[in-house]
Chain A
């Protein structure tokens, strides 16, 4: 709160007008539309629509395909989060130990942040291509394993998981590194004097002190995996094979634009909105505590 402010009855409205106009037209209004049409069922030609209360939602949650998407999203989100966070933590701990050439290492570790999710997907799609991908070739040559994400749903999910995690490592790395650097050196030194081994120091001092960062990243990564990975799926597997990689955001798109089932798509939008709102609330409640910490 500012003590000193300017006085004008019209200027502030003019200043917020562009932001508010765009928010209302492109955010609030469509969100309201989604809410509204989730309660209607439209006929195939869009001539008439009937108010059906929560029938769209009932249908949605009794649709095994949708429930499977829920499960896929959860598995995908958790694996991406775990994979990228654990690798990033390892790298951050290592980078924090290095004194010389630390900047050089950092430079090489942060650039994937700038790579678009769609491109990350395409890069790994190429690497793992069953006929000419180098990873598929190595799997065949070394383990005799026949990798084919066109036929195996599990393998397709593994591929998009790796691509999504690969892109997110730099982000997590930067936050973990910042968190590590804010831990007072004196604590570590005191533990070292008490003859605690590096591993023990990490698990009893460093890791607990990092928990605010870890929790923050946990939420951010889940949001990333749930919503920002649409491009990875769409550019590579298109939800297939047999729906195995069709996560929730992909399904909303597919139901609405390809299947043209507006009621169901709107109901899915509403479910997703509830999900984002929940996660944002968690994130912000936590961030407030992080500032105090």
Chain B
């Protein structure tokens, strides 16, 4: 701060508090709604303070689900989401590390061709090639499977670039030293490069976990089997059924459950998260 202006200081805090209220209010309403019986949310104005049904509602959600939408327990949807999120995250990191390593530490024909092929994936989000990608997955027999959910999403230009960028900053002397000690390329990768990349991997892990957990369109297309529903995509069925029935309390409870894991990851690892976000976008 350059100079002391009391009025401006008050305004500053007011702006920040208003921003926080705007961001938190929808979640507050959802949280409150999820603790009431369904009938309490049938007429306006709806309650602004917690009810006494919270425990009941969440117990029913986690174990029995919402009967009107097939009764898939939300705990199971969360489990599916977790598998998908971890699969996507670990897959992306693993294959990106390998390809970045090849591109930085080797000279080989078609090196730049591979580089540009990976780059192109950046320009082809799932949303713009939905139908043909679906056909490919269908013809490989991967519909309704975890493989079909995870595998097509694990190519990653962003992660490859991030690791490439980082590998380029690793001093050449390390390679020379490793070679003098007769370490082969795989040993160098495993014993030296991987430990050095730990922070980058962790930061990327957070961003990719959120990306994986929040997938919507892909699971929606690939899974018709209820047992494979993920939570972010499963909630959409409740919303559309919910118009006629008093199940808003359960829908909002599901929304809360769906946002807890990624929000916890962000808050618990805030510093790494900011690092990962800012760096992966460069």
Contacts and interface: CB of A to CB of B under 8 A. Distances in A.
A108 B45 CA distance: 27
Interface centre among A3, A116, A280 (most CB of B within 10 A): A116
B266 A111 contact: yes
A25 B135 CA distance: 11
Contacts of A234: 216-217, 220, 236
A31 interface: yes
Interface residues of A, number: 105
B262 A114 contact: yes
Given A117-B216, A171-B277, A90 B15 contact: yes
Interface residues of B, number: 107
A15 B98 contact: yes
B44 A137 contact: yes
Contacts of B122: 280
Interface in A221-243: 227-228, 230-231, 234-236, 238
B42 A273 contact: no
B82 to A, nearest CB: 14
B132 A27 contact: no
B270 interface: yes
Given A26-B136, A105-B16, A277-B123, A114 B259 contact: yes
A180 to B, nearest CB: 13
B101 A189 contact: no
Query: Interface of chain A, helix or strand or loop or mixed?
Result: helix
A175 interface: yes
A7 B188 CA distance: 13
A279 to B, nearest CB: 9
A99 interface: yes
Contacts of A37: 132
Interface stretch (A61-69, A72-80, A121-129): A121-129
Given A110-B270, A192-B2, A27 B124 contact: yes
B12 A97 contact: yes
A37 B134 CA distance: 14
A277 to B, nearest CB: 5
B267 A107 contact: yes
Contact of A30 (B29, B127, B133, B210): B133
Contacts of A22: 95, 151-152, 154-155
A60 interface: no
A101 to B, nearest CB: 9
A52 interface: no
Given A198-B5, A276-B125, A122 B132 contact: no
B44 to A, nearest CB: 5
Interface centre among A22, A27, A126, A291 (most CB of B within 10 A): A27
B108 interface: yes
B96 interface: yes
A253 B151 contact: no
B19 interface: yes
A107 B270 contact: yes
A113 B172 contact: no
Given A16-B102, A119-B235, A94 B270 contact: no
Given A2-B172, A111-B267, A114-B263, A16 B128 contact: no
A205 to B, nearest CB: 11
B255 A119 contact: yes
Interface string A10-30: 011101101110111111111
B131 A125 contact: no
Contacts of B132: 29-31, 33-34, 37, 266, 269
Contact of A265 (B15, B131, B258, B282): B131
B43 interface: yes
19 contacts: A2-B104, A5-B106, A6-B105, A11-B185, A12-B102, A12-B106, A19-B99, A23-B120, A29-B132, A33-B129, A94-B16, A115-B263, A116-B214, A118-B232, A119-B255, A166-B22, A252-B127, A265-B130, A269-B131
Given A23-B117, A29-B132, 7 more contacts: A11-B102, A12-B106, A16-B114, A30-B136, A110-B273, A117-B216, A174-B278
Q: Which 9 residue pairs across A and B have the least CB separation, nearest first?
A: A116-B214, A30-B132, A15-B102, A33-B132, A114-B262, A231-B216, A12-B106, A272-B128, A26-B152
